[in-house]
Amino acid sequence: MNKPIVKPMYEVIFDAIKNKIEDGTYLPGSQIPTEKEIADQFEVSRITSKKAYDLLVAGGFIYRHAGRGSFVQDENNERIHYQPNLKKQKQEH
């Protein structure tokens, strides 16, 4: 009898966030939810969400900025900060 293969929760979280990055829900430079917010959302320990974030960092999907949070890396693995009102501000001047 074959047992179904169950993914560890950190992989489920990794896939969920990676999919949101790839489908444009999280744009390059934008901040993603905190480890605590993700832990609460998925009803797991913060250690589990941290492991998922560690995988996202290792995979080049996000980067962490101490004291500020985790941000989506751009496709060139550059660390940018998304500024949604930048274009609007330039038009006003």
Report residues of the chain scoring pLDDT below 50. 84-93
Q: For residue 91, what pLDDT is reported?
A: 41
Give tens-digit pLDDT for 28-42.
Answer: 999 999 999 999 999
Q: For residue 52, what pLDDT is reported?
A: 98
Nearest to 30 by CA among 81, 87, 88: 81
Q: For residue 80, what pLDDT is reported?
A: 58
Q: For residue 10, what pLDDT is reported?
A: 98
The predicted model scores a pTM of 0.78
Domain 9-92 sits in CATH at 1.10.10.10
Q: Write the DSSP string, 35-82.
A: HHHHHHHHT--HHHHHHHHHHHHHTTSEEEETTTEEEEPPTT------
Query: What average pLDDT is seen over the chain?
Result: 86
